[in-house]
């Protein structure tokens, strides 16, 4: 474990994250909408590039954020400590999300009113926790970041979460989503990692200020059903369901591109 209790300037976090993250841009000068993709507890994998290709085809820029490189968390350590909840809970990792949103709003080639976030498993936990926390002392305490704006989610146009962890330690089931943006979730009924039907019930009770989360139930889907290279015995790749999920992602982003963020 590598706990850190010092406060870190957000610009320092941005610089560290950009060293290991991957950027995909459509052709042209922009400004483009951008989606920030957050990997699961196993780290950045090939599936992120495949999802990024879907977003890029829909006209979106994509930043695949690597939360482990600058923390020097190896694949073994990730499975042993992050996946088991011993370090880097969603509320702490939300600092990476706030930092990358700050970066995105500063880029002249990005539309600062059309920023989406997408998260897989632990990344979904991160996204939902980020949208549940109150700006100010609560966020600073959780993320250990300095110099965040009064509204760190300014410009957020929507969130897309795939089999998100929402168990012990997750904030969103208790507090709800404080920002009024569309939230699309995908959950498999055969998910033995984050729970299938129990997660569906949890997400079904969660709301933004004006609407319930849209929960798409994938019958028979396991955790990481979209990962071709998966080696976990609890995971089964399903190409048909992956194609369906990719279509949903493209449709979600296409709709978000027409929407100006109400988060200011």
pLDDT of residue 240: 98
pLDDT of residue 3: 44
pLDDT of residue 5: 59
Measure the CA angle with vertex 106, ends 105 and 112; round to 5°.
30
Q: Residue 188 gets which letter from DSSP?
A: E
- Calculated CA dihedral for residues 130, 134, 137, 143, nearest 10 degrees: 0
Mean pLDDT by 10 residues, the chain (264 residues): 69 97 94 98 96 97 98 96 96 98 98 98 98 94 95 97 97 96 98 96 96 97 96 93 98 93 85
pLDDT of residue 103: 98
Give the Cα separation of 262 and 222 in Å (integer): 35
Structure-block tokens of residue 135: 């700006």
Neighbours of 37 (CB within 10 A): 27
Superfamily (CATH) of domain 8-257:
Alpha/Beta hydrolase fold, catalytic domain (3.40.50.1820)
| 3-state class (DSSP) for residue 214 | strand
Going 7 to 146 to 152 to 257, the CA torsion angle's sign is: negative
Q: Is the pTM of this model over 0.85?
A: yes
Per-residue pLDDT tens digits for 37-65: 999 999 999 999 999 999 999 999 999 99
């Amino acid at each position: 474990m590598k706990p850190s209790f010092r406060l870190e300037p957000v610009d320092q976090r941005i610089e560290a994250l950009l060293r290991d993250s991957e950027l995909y841009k459509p052709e042209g000068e922009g400004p483009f909408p951008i989606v920030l993709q957050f990997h699961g507890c196993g780290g950045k994998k090939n599936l992120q590039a495949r999802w990024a290709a879907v977003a890029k085809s829909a006209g979106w820029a994509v930043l695949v954020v690597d939360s482990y490189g600058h923390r020097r968390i190896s694949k073994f350590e990730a499975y042993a400590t992050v996946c088991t909840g011993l370090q880097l809970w969603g509320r702490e990792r939300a600092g990476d999300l706030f930092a990358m949103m700050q970066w995105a709003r500063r880029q002249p080639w990005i539309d600062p009113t059309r920023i989406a976030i997408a998260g897989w498993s632990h990344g979904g936990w991160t996204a939902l926790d980020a949208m549940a926390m109150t700006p100010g002392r609560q966020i600073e305490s959780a993320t250990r970041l300095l110099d965040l704006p009064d509204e760190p989610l300014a410009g957020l146009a929507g969130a897309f979460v795939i089999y998100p962890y929402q168990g012990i330690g997750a904030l969103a089931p208790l507090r709800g989503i404080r920002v009024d943006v569309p939230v699309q979730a995908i959950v498999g009924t055969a998910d033995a990692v984050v729970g299938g039907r129990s997660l569906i019930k949890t997400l079904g009770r969660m709301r933004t200020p004006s609407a319930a989360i849209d929960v798409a139930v994938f019958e028979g889907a396991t955790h990481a059903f979209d990962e071709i290279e998966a080696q976990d015995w609890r995971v089964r790749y399903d190409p048909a369901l992956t194609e369906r999920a990719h279509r949903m992602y493209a449709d979600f982003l296409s709709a978000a591109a027409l929407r100006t963020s109400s988060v200011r």
